[in-house]
Structure 1
Amino acid sequence: MSFEGKAVYVAIGPSAVERWLDLSTEELRVQVSRLVSARLPGDHAVWQAIRRHPALVPRIRGVLSGLAATAAGSKDEAMQKVWISKARAALDQTAAAPVKAAPKPVVEEVPAEEPEAVIELREPEPQQRQPHRAVPTMLFQEPS
């Protein structure tokens, strides 16, 4: 079934993801292709909505594999593969745990100890540099 010439349009948004569950594979492919091209960050609401649907994630992985296969050999292959790998990473991303403020470390006062013996370090004496040697002149002859 070809969708060329037909207007297959479902909005890309968190609420639209609910409808993606009912789309055919070809229709989902169009939507995922648009999503990949949008290059949304992994913490975007659309990716969060997709990750909430365990049945949708494997379908999208399959579509991404298909997109990678069709991009092979095209002039935009490198760009498409980068976008697809970012989309796969967005699927794998887990919700970040809230960052808790780290407790301040307890600083204990250490009683002063007797200073250790001081060792003197001397700089090595500079070595005398030898003058540069002249490079012998080389003559090249043309073969006769």
Structure 2
Amino acid sequence: MAIGPSAVERWPELSTQELRAQVAKLVSARLPGDHAVWQAVRRHPALVARIRGVLSGLAASAAGSKDEAMQKVWISKARQALDVTTPAPVRTARKPVAKEVPAAAEDEAPDRVLDFAQPEPQKQPPKVIPTMLFQEPS
């Protein structure tokens, strides 16, 4: 079975052993997190959970092998690809809108009225500062 977005649609029906083989191929392919295959995987929450379990099994089976460090790097990249969320669309500042003035009010009002509505600034969550513990020398 090939690795592609259309093949991922059939992965929920695979047995654990077959899924493990497919995930091992996917991990060794080292695809970027925004690749179409990862996007197809993220559309199935139950499949994401199964793949996390398979990745844990792959990490455990790689322990003690000569390629352990490389495998763990690839597995961590795969886990990060599962966590990628699609970014929200960026809101741009609106341009001033020219409003038409009715014909009756033309004498006392200017030709156009410009509306400079400012969008609300997006609030970002505060940065998390890790806690540091210090021990006295003994």
Residue identity over aligned pairs, in percent, reads 82
Q: Following superposition of structure 1 onto structure 2, how do residues 42-81 of structure 1 map, counting pairs within 5 Å?
A: 42-81=33-72
Of Structure 1 and Structure 2, the greater helix share is in 2
| Counterpart selection for 2:25 from 1, 14, 34 | 34
Q: Following superposition of structure 1 onto structure 2, how do residues 1-144 of structure 1 map, counting pairs within 5 Å?
A: 10-101=1-92
Deviations 1:23-66 (A, max 9, x none): 10000000000000000000111101100001101100000000
User: What CA distance in whole angstroms lies between the structure 2 residues aligned with 1:89 and 1:16?
Assistant: 21
- Counterpart amino acid of residue 53 in structure 1: H
User: What is the root-mean-square deviation in Å for CA atoms of aligned residues?
Assistant: 1.7
Deviations 1:103-139 (A, max 9, x none): 7xxxxxxxxxxxxxxxxxxxxxxxxxxxxxxxxxxxx
User: What CA distance in whole angstroms lies between the structure 2 residues aligned with 1:24 and 1:39?
Assistant: 23
User: What CA distance in whole angstroms lies between the structure 1 residues aligned with 2:29 and 2:3?
Assistant: 9
User: What CA distance in whole angstroms lies between the structure 2 residues aligned with 1:23 and 1:36?
Assistant: 17
Which SS does the other structure have where 2:13 is aligned?
coil
User: What CA distance in whole angstroms lies between the structure 2 residues aligned with 1:65 and 1:100?
Assistant: 39
Q: TM-score, normalised by structure 1?
A: 0.63
Q: TM-score, normalised by structure 2?
A: 0.65
In structure 2, list runs of 5 or more residues that go unmatched: 95-138
Of Structure 1 and Structure 2, the greater strand share is in 2
Higher Cα radius of gyration? 1
- Counterpart amino acid of residue 35 in structure 2: H
User: What CA distance in whole angstroms lies between the structure 2 residues aligned with 1:49 and 1:42?
Assistant: 11
User: What CA distance in whole angstroms lies between the structure 2 residues aligned with 1:102 and 1:81?
Assistant: 43
- Which protein has greater RCO, CA pairs closer than 8 Å, 6+ apart? 1
Which SS does the other structure have where 2:6 is aligned?
coil
Which SS does the other structure have where 2:5 is aligned?
coil
In structure 1, list runs of 5 or more residues that go unmatched: 1-9, 104-144
